[in-house]
Amino acid sequence: MDHSIQDVARLAGTTSRTLRHYGAEGLLPPSRIGTNGYRYYDDRALVRLQRILLLRDLGLGLPAIRLVLDREVDETAALREHLGWLEQEQQRLDRQIRSVQTTITTLEGEDQLMADQMFDGFDHTQYKEEVVERWGADAYRNSDEWWRSMTTAQRKEWRAATRALQADWADAVTRRVDPAGAEGQQLARRHVRWLGAVPGLPRENGHLAADYVRGLGEMYVADDRFGADYGGPAGAAFVRDALAHYADEHL
Amino acid sequence: MDHSIQDVARLAGTTSRTLRHYGAEGLLPPSRIGTNGYRYYDDRALVRLQRILLLRDLGLGLPAIRLVLDREVDETAALREHLGWLEQEQQRLDRQIRSVQTTITTLEGEDQLMADQMFDGFDHTQYKEEVVERWGADAYRNSDEWWRSMTTAQRKEWRAATRALQADWADAVTRRVDPAGAEGQQLARRHVRWLGAVPGLPRENGHLAADYVRGLGEMYVADDRFGADYGGPAGAAFVRDALAHYADEHL
DNA sequence: GCTTGACGTTGACGCAGCGGCAAGTTCTAC
DNA sequence: GTAGAACTTGCCGCTGCGTCAACGTCAAGC
C-alpha cells in the first residue's frame, strides 16, 4: 500500500524533487518514514497530491493550496480570488502585447521628417513661442539640439515610444478609466518619464517641473490638434486631468 | 551636467536601487564615479536609461536589453521574438482562466448522483464487465470503494477536475492541434495523472499500465457517448491518439 | 566646530517553486 | 561481494530588484 517517492512521482506525473519540496513545506508530509530515512506515501497521500497538483495546474500558489486543503478557506472563494488575479495578469499582458506591436510597426515605418516631428501628436515644438516665453530660450534650444544629436535609430525609437504612449492614452480614454486611478496615473508616470528624457526642459528638484507638466496638459486641451488624436476634447481633458493629478501627487 | 543617483532616479521614474542594479549588471555604468565613491550620470547615460526603461516596460529581460543596446541584435527582431513569447504566455493564461472558471462553476453545481457518475463523460464504470474481465475483479472494487470513501467536497472537486479536463480536450479538438504535439501530450499527461489518482487501476512499475491507457482510448472511440462530448468520433479518436502516443513515450 | 539629517556606499537576504548537482547511505540484482 | 539504481540531506541558481543593515559624506544651521 506504500509507494516509494519515485513511484509516486511517476504515478502523479511529477518529480521526486517536487515531492521533497512539498514535504519540506509541510504541504504533503510522507505518510511514513522508514528507519532508513526513506519516504513512503499511502493512498491518502496520493489523493492529497492529486489535489495539490490540480490546484497548481490552475496556477494557485502553495500557501493558497495549503489553506484550501486544510479547509481554512473555502475552495470556491480561493479560486474566485485567484481568477481575479489571473484576469489582471491577462490585462497586463494584453497591454504589453499592444505596446510591443505598436513599437514594432513604428520601428518598421520609414524615416519621417526631422526635429519638428519630434513629438508627433504631442508636438510641443510647435509651441516654440510659448515654450520660449514661459520657460526661457535655452530650454527650447537644448531640446532641439538634443533631438538633432540623436542617431536615426534613436530617433526612430523615440517616435515609436511616442506612438505607443499616444495609443495607450487613446485606449484608456475610450475605455473611460479614471484619470486619477491606477491606470491613468501609470500612464501619467510614463508620460512624465518619457518627457523627462529630454534635457533642457524645466525641472525642479531633479524632476520635471510640476507647473510645466500642468501647463502642458492645458496646452493639449487648448489646441484641437492634440485632442483629435484621442477622440475629441474629452481625450485631451483626460490627459490633462491625469497629468495634473500626477503632478499634485508626485512632483 | 552630472546628476546624482537620486536625481536620475526621480527624473526617470525609477529607484536608486534599480540604477545600482543596472550598474552592477554592466547595463548602465555610471558615467563618472567620484573620489567619494558616488555615482554620477551624464545626459548620455540618461538617454540610455530611458531606452532601458522603455524596453523593460515592454517586458524584455535585462540580457535581451543589453543585446539591443549594444547593437548585437536588431531591435525589431528582438521585439518580434519577445512578442512571440508574450503571446505564448497569453495563451497559457487564457487556458488557465478557462480551467479555473470551469472548476468554479462545477464546484458550485449541486451534488449529483454517486459512484456511477464518477467519471461523468469519461464514465468507465459503465464498462464494468470489460474492466473486470481484462483487469481483474478487485480493480473494479477498489475504484468503487475509493469513490465512496470520498467526502462530498472531494467528490465535487473530482468532478470539477473531470469537467475541466473534458472541456480542455474538447477545446484542443476544435482547434485541431496535433495529438502528438506539445499541447496534446500535455493533455494526455493530465489525463493519466487524473486517472492515476484512482487506486486499484492496473499499474506497472508504479504508474498506470500502458496497455490500460491504450485500451481506454479505444473504448472512448468505440462508444459514441464519449465522442459526443468532443464533437463526434473525430474527438474520441483525437483523445485515443494522444493517449496512445503518450503511453508509447512515457509509460 | 559640531550636530543633524539627507544622501551615498557596499553587502546580503528574500522571494516562488522547484531544477540540478554533490556527497554520502541504502537497497537490489547478479 | 559488488555494481548500479534509488534514496537521503544540503545548497546554489534563477529574475529583478525591494528592503534592511552598517557605515561614510555632505550641506545647513547653531
B39-41 and B32-33: which strand pairing?
antiparallel
The angle subtended at Cα A220 by Cα A214 and Cα A223, nearest 5°, is: 135
Average pLDDT for residues A188-215, to the nearest whole number? Answer: 73
- CB-nearest to B86 from A58, A59, A93 is A93
- The residues with which B208 forms a beta bridge, in sequence order, are B203
> Does A124 have pLDDT greater than 60?
no
**Strand D near-CB residues (< 7 Å), B 89-148:** none
CA of A22 to C1' of D11 (A): 17
Per-residue confidence (pLDDT) for residue B164, from 0 to 100? 77
CA of A154 to C1' of D18 (A): 31
Q: Measuring CA to CA, which residue among B92, B63, B90, B93 is closest to residue B78?
A: B63
Mutate to test the interface with A, among B7, B16, B47, B212 (most CBs of A within 10 A): B47
Question: Residues 45..64 of B with a Cβ closer than 8 Å to A: which?
Answer: 46-47, 50-51, 53-54, 57-59
Let me know: does B81 contact B122? Beta carbons within 8 Å: no
Contact A76 B108 (CB under 8 A): yes
User: How sure is the predictor about A102, in pLDDT bands with cuts at 50, 70 and 90?
Assistant: confident
pLDDT, averaged across chain A: 77
Q: Measuring CA to CA, which residue among A38, A70, A72 is closest to residue A52?
A: A70
Of B31-45, B49-63, B155-169, B205-219, give the lowest mean pLDDT range: B205-219
Contact B196 A90 (CB under 8 A): no
Average pLDDT for residues B162-189, to the nearest whole number? Answer: 83
Per-residue confidence (pLDDT) for residue B47, from 0 to 100? 83
Q: Closest-CA residue in chain B for A154? A: B51
Question: Which is more confidently placed, A118 or A10?
Answer: A10
- With CA of A35 and C1' of each nucleotide, the nearest comes out as C26
Per-residue confidence (pLDDT) for residue A200, from 0 to 100? 60
Residues B72, A236: Cα–Cα separation, whole Å: 40
Pinpoint the residues of chain B covered by CATH 1.10.1660.10: 3-73
Per-residue confidence (pLDDT) for residue B102, from 0 to 100? 75
- The residues with which A207 forms a beta bridge, in sequence order, are A204
Residues A186, A249: Cα–Cα separation, whole Å: 12
Per-residue confidence (pLDDT) for residue B128, from 0 to 100? 46
pLDDT in tens, A47-65: 899 889 889 988 999 999 9
Per-residue confidence (pLDDT) for residue B39, from 0 to 100? 96
Average pLDDT for residues B220-229, to the nearest whole number? Answer: 64
pLDDT, averaged across chain B: 77
> Does A4 have pLDDT greater than 90?
yes
Question: Which is more confidently placed, B217 or A18?
Answer: A18
Neighbours of A191 (CB within 10 A): 24
Question: Residues 210..249 of B with a Cβ closer than 8 Å to A: which?
Answer: none
Measured from the CB, is B205 under 7 Å from any atom of strand D? no
ipTM for the assembly = 0.62
Q: How many cross-chain Cβ pairs, A to B, lie less than 8 Å apart?
A: 146
Is A134 in the B-facing interface, judged by CB distances under 8 Å?
no
Residues B199, B205: Cα–Cα separation, whole Å: 14
> Does A44 have pLDDT greater than 80?
yes
Contact B101 A107 (CB under 8 A): no
Chain mean position to CA A154: 23
Neighbours of A112 (CB within 10 A): 12
CA of B50 to C1' of C6 (A): 26
- CB-nearest to A13 from B57, B154, B192 is B192
Q: What are phi and psi of B2, to 5 degrees?
A: -100, 145
Average pLDDT for residues B80-85, to the nearest whole number? Answer: 93
The x, y and z cell numbers of residue B185, run together, are: 501530450
Mutate to test the interface with B, among A96, A152, A208 (most CBs of B within 10 A): A96
Residues B206, B203: Cα–Cα separation, whole Å: 6
- CB-nearest to B104 from A80, A108, A193 is A80
Query: Got the DSSP string for B1-19?
Result: --EEHHHHHHHHTS-HHHH
Contact B97 A87 (CB under 8 A): yes
> Does A205 have pLDDT greater than 60?
no
**Neighboring chain A residues of B57 at a CB cutoff of 8 Å:** 96, 99, 190
Mark the nucleotides of strand D covered by protein, meaning any atom under 7 Å from a CB. 6-9, 15-19, 24-26
The 10 Å CB-count burial string (b at 16+, else e) for A47-63 is bbbbbbbbbebbbbeee
Per-residue confidence (pLDDT) for residue A56, from 0 to 100? 92
pLDDT in tens, B109-165: 644 433 344 454 444 444 444 444 444 434 444 555 566 556 666 767 777 777 778
Mutate to test the interface with B, among A42, A97, A102, A194 (most CBs of B within 10 A): A97
**Neighboring chain A residues of B104 at a CB cutoff of 8 Å:** 76, 79-80, 83
Of B89-98, B114-123, B178-187, B219-228, give the lowest mean pLDDT range: B114-123
* SS3 state at A104: helix
Of A72-81, A177-186, B9-18, B104-113, give the lowest mean pLDDT range: B104-113
Question: Which is more confidently placed, B150 or B247?
Answer: B247
Measured from the CB, is A245 under 7 Å from any atom of strand D? no
Let me know: does B162 contact B119? Beta carbons within 8 Å: yes
> Closest approach of chain B CAs to the CA of A234, in angstroms?
27
Average pLDDT for residues A114-132, to the nearest whole number? Answer: 43
Average pLDDT for residues A100-122, to the nearest whole number? Answer: 57
Where does B109-222 have alpha helices with state H? 128-135, 137-148, 152-174, 182-196, 210-222
Residues A122, A164: Cα–Cα separation, whole Å: 12
Let me know: does A51 contact B157? Beta carbons within 8 Å: yes
In angstroms, the first-to-last Cα distance of chain B is 67
Measured from the CB, is B21 under 7 Å from any atom of strand D? yes
CATH 1.10.1740.10, applies to A3-73 = no
Mark the nucleotides of strand C covered by protein, meaning any atom under 7 Å from a CB. 7-10, 16-21, 26-27
* Grid-cell match 521533497, residue found: A20
